[in-house]
Amino acid sequence: MVSKQSYMALRELTIGYNFPEKWIKHVGLQSARLSFTARNLCYIYNGTNGKSNPDGYITNNALTPFDYGTTPFVRNFSFALNLRF
């Protein structure tokens, strides 16, 4: 049995802010950037009843139509501060 496994994933989102030069030049910096990154935020999909990640499915073989879930993807969050002197 073949089922439709269409989905959409928000894999990575990065938001950054470059500080204005007038704010940072008095402390000896040429540039400064603060950013936030999030990975594996969400999945919108049809076909697995919304209970698992569609990328995490494996099938045993063609003769046994059982799907097994694999380890779920980890949602990551990070901050970065880039300073240029």
Strand blocks (E) in 3-75? 7-18, 31-45, 57-59, 67-69
pLDDT digits (tens, 9 = 90+) for 13-49: 999 999 999 999 999 999 999 999 999 888 777 655 5
Query: H or E element: which one contains 56?
Result: none
Q: What's residue 49's pLDDT?
A: 53
Kindly tell me if the per-residue pLDDT of 10 is higher than 80.
yes
> Given pLDDT bands bounded at 50, 70 and 90, which one contains residue 73?
confident
Q: What's residue 82's pLDDT?
A: 98
Gap between the Cα atoms of 60 and 68, Å rounded:
8
